[in-house]
Amino acid sequence: MTRLIGIFVFDDVELLDLAGPYEVFTCASRASAGRNPGTEPPFKVVTIGQTTSARRARAGLSLLPDASFANHAAVDVLIVPGGVVTAELGKPEVIEWIAKTAERSALNASVCTGAFLLAQAGLLTGKRATTHWEDMDDLRAMFPHVHVEPQRRWVRDGNTVTSGGISAGIDMSLHLVESLVDRDLALRTARQMEYLWTENP
């Protein structure tokens, strides 16, 4: 079974927030092919923008979404990266899309300030969550119904997983590989990436 991983792309997205999970899931599929030749890949990754027009990451890199809100396939895992999310928080159509997509997905995840978008969509109400250390106080102030946990690389509460900033999204994504497939594939993926996986959040 191939699971579709949908990663939200928007202007001022933090590049590694997006690229870290993208690399983990695509690398996991390559590692799976090496382990079990001829089998279907465990993951397919698609980037999704409000439209398919080019977006510019926070660091300036141009990004071209694979699909738009209007035409993407149903995703099994929704990942909302962070960055400068102020503009996205003010777009009802973005928040509505996150909420509706999350209703149909098996897992929903955020990296860094992507937690603000999940919270705005109502996905973190009454749940434990984390974000970048620099944004903890703002998350608590804006969303008092979220139980913000400091000093955690990632936090899982049911089918929702949030991670700290930037590189922490890689640790979270490796956890998702372990959860969705198995530990061996997560370890093989981390080794292929030459990444020291922080397994304990």
Q: Give catalytic residue positions.
A: 112
The Cα angle at residue 98 between residues 97 and 100, in degrees rounded to 5: 65
32 and 181 in contact (C-beta within 8 Å)? yes
User: Are 13 and 81 within 8 A, CB to CB?
Assistant: yes
Type of residue numbered 146: V
Which residues, in sequence order, are CB contacts of 42 under 8 Å at separation 6+? 1, 2, 3, 28, 29, 32, 177, 180, 181, 185
